[in-house]
Amino acid sequence: MEYLIGIQGKDFVIVAADNVAASSIIQMKQDQDKMFKLSDKILLLCVGEAGDTVQFAEYIQKNIQLYKMRNGYELSPTAAANFTRKNLADYLRSRTPYHVNLLLAGYDAVDGPGLYFMDYLSALAKAPFAAHGYGAYLTLSIMDRYYRPDLTRDEAVELLRKCIEELNKRLIINLPSFTVRLIDKDGIHDLEKLVPVGAK
């Protein structure tokens, strides 16, 4: 039911997450923010088991900050992604695994933008575009058709909008709005909330 999407452009990454927090068949909250700021240029998008998501994401967030305090500089997105993966993998092989699906998006001064897909089995993959949730089945093919590595910011937002319209059209579950953020060399920027046409 929850949906995450990320698209990497030439010098930016754009990410979006739905805003619904549900408990069984009831929408408890329609303005839930599922993105966690790991550092000035890294965002972690986290969905999955209720409670596991916030617990795991905040734990990673504070550890990334601790690294910064100890060493005087921030972890790169690659390092942060691998650190997250290792933690998830360790917990998976314990009595208390976390059931979370993640997207990690970041900008590195040297390597540029990066998007990392991670699932609850702790598989990590760097990808130009990625999505989580039932919505991924519908939107990955849209991105296959229209994605180009040199997308401009506006084109990326358009591609995002195409995906979200498709969700609104075909998904049995109504996702009324999506938080959108963009990461580039200047940090994390909030973009306008995306509301699919015809959504209640």
Partner 1 sequence: MSYDRAITVFSPDGHLFQVEYAQEAVKKGSTAVGVRGKNMVVLGVEKKSVTKLQDDRTVRKICALDENVFLAFAGLTADARVVVNRARVECQSHRLTVEDPVTVEYITRFISNIKQRYTQSNGRRPFGISSLIVGFDFDGTPKLYQTEPSGTYHAWKANAIGRSAKTVREFLEKSYKEEDMESDTNVIKLAVRALLEVVQSGGKNIELAIMKRDEPMKILDQQEIEEYVTTIENEKEEAEKKKKKT
Q: Which stretch binds partner 1 (CB under 8 A): 68-76, 158-166, 171-179, 188-196?
A: 68-76
List, in sequence order, every residue forming a beta bridge with 72; answer none if it has no partner.
none
Does residue 33 bind partner 1 (CB under 8 A)?
A: no
- In angstroms, give the least distance from the CB of 63 to partner 1: 7
Q: Output DSSP code: residue 11.
A: S
62 binds partner 1 (CB under 8 A): yes
List the structure tokens of 37.
């700021």
> In this chain, which stretch among 6-14, 37-45, 55-63, 110-118 interacts with partner 1, using CB under 8 A?
55-63
Cα 162 to the center of its chain, rounded Å: 18
Least distance (Å) between residue 58 CB and partner 1: 6
Encoded tokens for 126: 């760097």
In this structure, the strands spanning 112-118 and 100-108 are antiparallel
Among 28, 66, 123, 125, binds partner 1 (CB under 8 A): 66
Is 69 a binding residue for partner 1 by CB under 8 A? The answer is yes
What does the CA dihedral 2, 134, 39, 179 come to, rounded to 10 degrees?
-60
- Looking at residue 12, the DSSP 8-state letter turns out to be -
Q: Which of 10, 21, 32, 65 binds partner 1 (CB under 8 A)?
A: 65
Q: Look up tokens 């089995």; give the residue.
A: 121
- Per CB under 8 A, residues contacting partner 1 are 58-59, 62-63, 65-66, 69-70, 72
